Structures are given as C-alpha cells and as structure tokens.
Amino acid sequence: MGPGSLGTTSAVAPVAGASGTGSAIVAAAAGEVGQTEQPPGSNNSPRIAMYRSATAGNPGPGPWCAYFASWACRQAGVPIMPNGAGSGSVDAIYSWAQQAGRAQPASSSYQPRPGDLIVFHEHIGIVESVDQNGTIHTIEGNSSDQVARRTHPRSDAIGFVRTS
C-alpha cells in the first residue's frame, strides 16, 4: 500500500507555526492527499466511508468535505462539534464554532494557523500553511472528487475555526 492507502498514514515534516494539535491535524490530512471517489462522482469510496465514520450516526454518501475535516480533527485528538460528534455540514460546524468562541470571521485580523479549518460558502478545508502575503495553502476533501492541496487568497474564505 502506498501513502494514503487504507490503514496507512504518510510521514509529514513538522509544520512551521503549527501547535502540536495543528501539526497533527495537518499530518492526518496530508497523509490522505490523492484519495479519490470510487467510482468518480459518487461521493463515496472505502476511505471516504472511513471519513464519514468520524461523525455521529455515520451517515451515507454525500458531499464529504466536512466529514474529512471532522475525521482529521478526530485523528489528531481534537474532535469537533458537541461531544466530539463531528459533522457533515459546513454550516453546522461554523455555527458550533461561533457558539463555542472558536470562529474567526475572514474580515477580522485573525491570522489562521496550520490545523485551523477554513470555511468557504458550502465548503470547508484545513489550513496547511499561510504565506507572509496572506495566501492560504489548504488540504481539502471533496475538492474535484478527491483530497487535494489548494491555494486561496484570504478573500475566498468566510471565516476560520480555531482547532487549538
């Protein structure tokens, strides 16, 4: 089995600027880069089913970016949502973060850190790093039907969820 195959993780160098839990979230996510839907366009695969298992009720196939973020946080020992239940809903995660004092609007002066969640309109990812110019590098589930690294200007985000 190669990196990101079922039951494996890949080694990742420590992430500059990440706390212990932030670094662990990024490492969990980075080990999954390249995982794809099988068959393409199905919102499903054995690995995606594992991401869903990090949410209460282990729901069936559907858009899975929030399942992936919930899974990565749980793998790092910092499960999200009440009682660590995770969620398949971007809106529910951001609403919980607002109520828990963990949400930071993108318009604020908050500087996202590796391992934080980045919230877009109906999508969520994990901050991998932030350049000095503010460009944000992410790892996202359900991005073109796979776990992929992406780059965004801060203006793409609605907000951030502090994970540590």
Task: Please report which confidence band the pLDDT of residue 18 belongs to, taking 50, 70 and 90 as the band edges.
Answer: low
pTM of the prediction? 0.88
Across the beta sheet with 103-105, the strand order is 103-105, 159-161, 117-120, 123-130, 136-140, 148-152
Percent of the chain with pLDDT over 70: 88
pLDDT at 9: 33
CATH tag, 20-161:
3.90.1720
Strand 148-152 relative to strand 136-140, pairing: antiparallel
The whole-angstrom separation of Cα 132 and Cα 9 is 29
Task: Please report which confidence band the pLDDT of residue 79 belongs to, taking 50, 70 and 90 as the band edges.
Answer: very high
Task: Please report which confidence band the pLDDT of residue 19 belongs to, taking 50, 70 and 90 as the band edges.
Answer: low
What residues have CB less than 8 Å from 19, skipping those under 6 apart? 113, 115, 164
Per DSSP, what are the bridge partners of residue 120? 123
User: In the chain, what is the greatest distance between 2 CA atoms, to the nearest angstrom?
Assistant: 43
Helices (H), the chain: 20-30, 46-52, 65-75, 90-99
Q: In the predicted model, what is the mean pLDDT of residues 61-90?
A: 95
The whole-angstrom separation of Cα 153 and Cα 150 is 10
Q: In the predicted model, what is the mean pLDDT of residues 62-77?
A: 96
The whole-angstrom separation of Cα 78 and Cα 76 is 6
Domain boundaries, the chain: 20-161
pLDDT tens per residue across span 80-125: 999 999 999 999 999 999 999 999 999 999 999 999 999 999 999 9
